[in-house]
Amino acid sequence: MKKVLKNKAYYLSLNYSMTIVKEDDEFVAYYKEYPKITGCGNNEIEAITDLKEAFSCLLDNLLASGETIIEPKPVEKKMRVNILLSEKLLKDISDRTNNRSLFLADAARYVINNNISLR
């Protein structure tokens, strides 16, 4: 397996989760992984450009000091499935959450992570 060199170009190529908000008369952009590093501008493009410059400077500092650089988590592909549940079980789940898919995914993850056998 080929080892990836984690240099500045590597980190700049990753898909960090960006958020852009309008605050008063300017736009502010930041990465979810680094919410305190922001870019500001009169429009979204200026805010993104400013954020990328600020993030580039941050990477220079982190790489020079040998500090850990946070990488974005990979996005998992979600798939739709059809399952049969009793009406009562479905109601019990709905009484506890407004997102049944997330509830069932969390329950499945819990069973898997804790090596619980259901057989």
- Whether residues 85 and 60 share a domain: the answer is no
Q: How far apart are CA 66 and CA 29, in angstroms?
A: 26
CATH of the domain at 36: 3.30.160
Say if 34 falls within a structural domain. Answer: yes
> What backbone torsions phi and psi does residue 36 show, to the nearest 5 degrees?
-85, -10
In a domain, residue 25? The reply is yes
pLDDT digits (tens, 9 = 90+) for 74-88: 878 888 999 999 999
Q: Which domain holds residue 99?
A: 76-119
Domain boundary, last residue among 26, 43, 65: 65
Residue 99 maps to a domain: yes
Question: What is the count of structural domains for the chain?
Answer: 2
Q: Is residue 92 part of a domain?
A: yes
Average pLDDT for consecutive 10-residue bins of the chain (119 residues)?
Answer: 80 94 96 96 97 98 95 86 95 94 91 88
Q: For residue 1, what pLDDT is reported?
A: 60
Residue 38 lies in a domain: yes
CA pair distance 63, 59, nearest whole angstrom: 6
Pair (60, 81) in one structural domain? no
**Looking at the domain assignment, is residue 1 inside a domain?**
no
